[in-house]
């Protein structure tokens, strides 16, 4: 049994690679808010769930779309008043947010998606003037 002590949660999280068929209640990832139907890490004490991608997201990342500074993943939204807008999709940020000291924010999924796209396809874009 794989156990993860995630920085965002006080209890240990247990890996579950099965879908959410064991429950009629839909399970949502506490990091991104999306429905989880595949592999996830779950708290057996309080019902906290993270899909596998969010659970394995780095606490600090360099994103090719924001080369000026690194992005940090705090356990709470770093903004004092209201929810910030995501610098990638321009929607309101809720749940886990990558934050930069220059006030740029990315949803966790947008940060991971944009980094993956840039890493996998940057060479294609560099071929065109």
What pLDDT was estimated at residue 66?
76
What pLDDT was estimated at residue 41?
92
What pLDDT was estimated at residue 127?
47
CA 65 to mean position of chain CA atoms: 16
What pLDDT was estimated at residue 50?
92
**CB of 100 closer than 8 Å to CB of 69:** yes
Q: Going from the first residue of the chain to its last (129 residues), give the mean pLDDT of each consecutive group of 10, the final group possibly shorter.
A: 84 80 73 89 90 91 80 66 80 86 87 69 51
CA 50 to mean position of chain CA atoms: 9
**CB of 89 closer than 8 Å to CB of 107:** yes
What pLDDT was estimated at residue 23?
54
- Domains of the chain, earliest start first: 1-56 (3.30.60), 60-121 (3.30.60)
């Amino acid at each position: 049994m794989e156990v993860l002590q995630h920085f965002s949660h006080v209890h240990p999280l247990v890996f579950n690679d099965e879908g959410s068929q064991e429950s009629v209640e839909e399970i949502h990832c506490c990091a991104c808010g999306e429905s989880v139907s595949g592999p996830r890490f779950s708290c057996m004490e309080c019902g906290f769930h993270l899909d596998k991608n969010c659970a394995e997201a780095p606490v600090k990342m360099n994103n090719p779309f924001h080369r000026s500074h690194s992005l940090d993943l705090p356990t709470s939204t770093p903004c004092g008043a209201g929810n910030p807008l995501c610098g990638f999709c321009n929607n309101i940020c809720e749940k886990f947010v990558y934050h930069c000291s220059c006030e740029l924010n990315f949803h966790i999924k947008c940060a991971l998606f944009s980094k993956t796209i840039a890493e996998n396809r940057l060479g294609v874009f560099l071929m065109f003037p």
